[in-house]
């Protein structure tokens, strides 16, 4: 009994000592430290989503901060984004902190009314100090997987709970509050976060924030996001990628009705950008396959002409666009009201456009032809292009151009005769020019009279 009585006080004392150590560590980690260099810091304006472009942007800024021996300041207003890119950004932040051996730090400021939501909350907690303005929010931080079953969802959520815990522990923030953001989808106002110790404190202006972290009066130039990274961000939206592919296919079909170089080039660019963006975000193969099937249905409409294949292809294309994000980890979900409105509006416009195009096609087919193709046999004309055996060319017969084939080479401009017609193509052969007929004895001579 006495042994038990002795162990209890020592256990309590050990717990108190551990609590004091955590408290000291929390205060020390959040205290501003002297600048490593009089050059100040670099300022990153993170008013963007968390995506491949944003990850490359912060990586470039981190490298520049290390190269110039400057701190890194992040002014944040983000709704979140891709978890994989969030982890890349956290890695860039840790690189500044660790490769400088603690001489450099990363600070985050969430201005009044701004967001450090979802994936952004992890980035903020990776910083040495976080300050928030009134009306700003941090969290919620629960991850989301398009198409993921409950087991997959729980698997990713457990990983992110452990991840946000480690970030909070590293910098002395309130671990329980941080875990609640990922585990219970909790969000905190600036006042709540500051009172709980989830963030370092509150400041209302950028200047006040810089002064609080020891950067007041220092040189803090902005590090602008490169155009390349903005382009990456633009292509990192699965809605944009799917619509690019679908619209590109529509442009190809339109080019069959109204052949222009512009439509062909635009279609190739749209399709290429769509597949490039899908590759950047690691889009689902299922979504891409459905988009390819949708494209095939739209192209089949050229043969069918009744509009059913086109409408089915467009509907399937919208489904494929949605499924591009299948099993890709986000925080929050990549689809909201705006995305659904964009998909629905684009789909409706494409359906109406194709139905109108089908109506025009029927009207054109109903018009009588100038010459019945079956009646051009034995008619003569001219080769509009060089006619090469085994290849299609063009022959002009009766003031109309026809797709022509020949068993012999016929130079452009040569006189030809139609020898047959099949499957919309004419077969032609050369026609030797007739020699001039000799003058008859009764005809007056065309020679000039001889002089005596």
Which residues contact residue 113 at a Cβ distance below 8 angstroms, ignoring those fewer than 6 apart? Answer: 133, 135, 136
What confidence tier does 21 reach under pLDDT thresholds 50, 70, 90? very low
Q: How far apart are CA 225 and CA 207, in angstroms?
A: 22
pTM of the model: 0.67
Residue 30 has pLDDT above 70, yes or no: no
For the domain spanning 10-230, the CATH number is 3.90.226.10
What pLDDT, on a 0 to 100 scale, did the predictor assign at position 439? 55
Inter-axis angle of helices 83-99 and 52-68, nearest 10:
0
| Whole-angstrom distance, CA of residue 426 vs CA of residue 77 | 67
Q: Would you list the domain boundaries of the chain?
A: 10-230, 237-366, 373-430
Provide the pLDDT confidence category of residue 372 given band limits of 50, 70 and 90: low
Q: Considering Cα of 58, then 61, then 63, then 66, what sign does the dihedral take?
A: negative
Residue 124's pLDDT band, with cuts at 50, 70 and 90, is very high
**CB-CB contact of 32 with 218 (8 Å):** no
Mean pLDDT of the chain: 81
Report the distance separating Cα 27 and Cα 24, nearest Å: 5
- Highest mean pLDDT: which of 122-126, 307-311, 317-321, 425-429? 122-126
**Residue 118 φ/ψ region, left for φ over 0, alpha for ψ in the -120 to 50 degree band, beta for the rest:** left
Contact 243, 321 (CB under 8 A): yes
Q: Is residue 33's pLDDT more than 70?
A: no
Would the pLDDT of 204 be above 60? yes
Selected residue with higher pLDDT from 309 and 121: 121
Q: Comparing 217 with 365, which gets the higher pLDDT?
A: 217
Query: Could you tell me if 358 and 306 are in contact, meaning their C-beta atoms sit under 8 angstroms apart?
Result: yes
Homologous superfamily (CATH) for 373-430? Nucleic acid-binding proteins (2.40.50.140)
Calpha distance 343→325 (Å, rounded): 14
């Amino acid at each position: 009994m006495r042994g038990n009585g002795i162990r209890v006080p020592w256990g309590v004392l050990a717990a108190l000592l551990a609590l004091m150590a955590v408290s000291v560590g929390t205060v020390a980690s959040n205290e501003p430290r002297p600048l490593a260099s009089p050059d100040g810091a670099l300022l990153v304006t993170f008013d963007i989503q968390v995506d491949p472009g944003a990850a490359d942007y912060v990586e470039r800024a981190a490298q520049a901060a290390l190269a110039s021996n400057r701190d890194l300041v992040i002014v944040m207003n983000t709704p979140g984004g891709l978890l994989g890119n969030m982890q890349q950004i956290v890695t860039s932040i840790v690189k500044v902190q660790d490769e400088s051996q603690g001489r450099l730090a990363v600070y985050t400021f969430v201005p009044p009314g701004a967001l450090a939501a979802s994936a952004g909350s992890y980035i903020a907690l990776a910083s040495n100090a976080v300050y928030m303005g009134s009306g700003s929010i941090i969290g919620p931080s629960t991850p989301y997987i398009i198409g993921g079953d409950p087991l997959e969802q729980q698997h990713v959520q457990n990983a992110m709970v452990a991840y946000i815990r480690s970030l909070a522990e590293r910098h002395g923030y309130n671990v329980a509050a941080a875990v609640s953001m990922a585990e219970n989808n909790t969000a905190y106002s600036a006042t709540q976060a500051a009172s709980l110790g989830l963030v370092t404190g509150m400041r209302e202006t950028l200047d006040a924030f810089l002064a609080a972290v020891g950067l007041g009066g220092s040189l803090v130039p902005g590090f602008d996001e490169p155009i390349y990274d903005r382009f990456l961000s633009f292509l990192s939206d699965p809605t944009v990628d799917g619509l690019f592919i679908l619209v590109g296919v529509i442009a190809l079909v339109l080019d069959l009705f109204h052949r222009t170089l512009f439509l062909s080039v635009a279609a190739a660019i749209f399709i290429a950008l769509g597949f490039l963006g899908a590759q950047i975000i690691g889009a689902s193969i299922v979504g891409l396959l459905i988009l390819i099937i949708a494209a095939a249905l739209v192209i089949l409409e050229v043969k069918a002409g009744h509009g059913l294949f086109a409408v089915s292809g467009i509907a399937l294309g919208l489904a494929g666009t949605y499924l591009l994000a299948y099993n890709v980890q986000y925080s929050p979900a990549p689809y909201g009201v705006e995305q659904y409105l964009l998909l629905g509006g684009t789909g409706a416009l494409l359906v109406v456009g194709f139905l109108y195009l089908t109506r025009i096609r029927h009207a054109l087919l109903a018009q009588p032809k100038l010459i019945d193709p079956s009646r051009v046999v034995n008619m003569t004309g001219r080769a509009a292009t060089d006619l090469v055996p085994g290849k299609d060319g063009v022959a002009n017969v009766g003031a109309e151009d026809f797709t022509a084939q020949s068993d012999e080479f016929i130079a452009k401009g040569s006189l030809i005769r139609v020898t047959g017609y099949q499957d919309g193509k004419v077969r032609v052969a050369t026609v030797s020019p007739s020699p001039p007929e000799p003058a008859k004895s009764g005809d007056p001579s065309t020679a000039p009279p001889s002089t005596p």
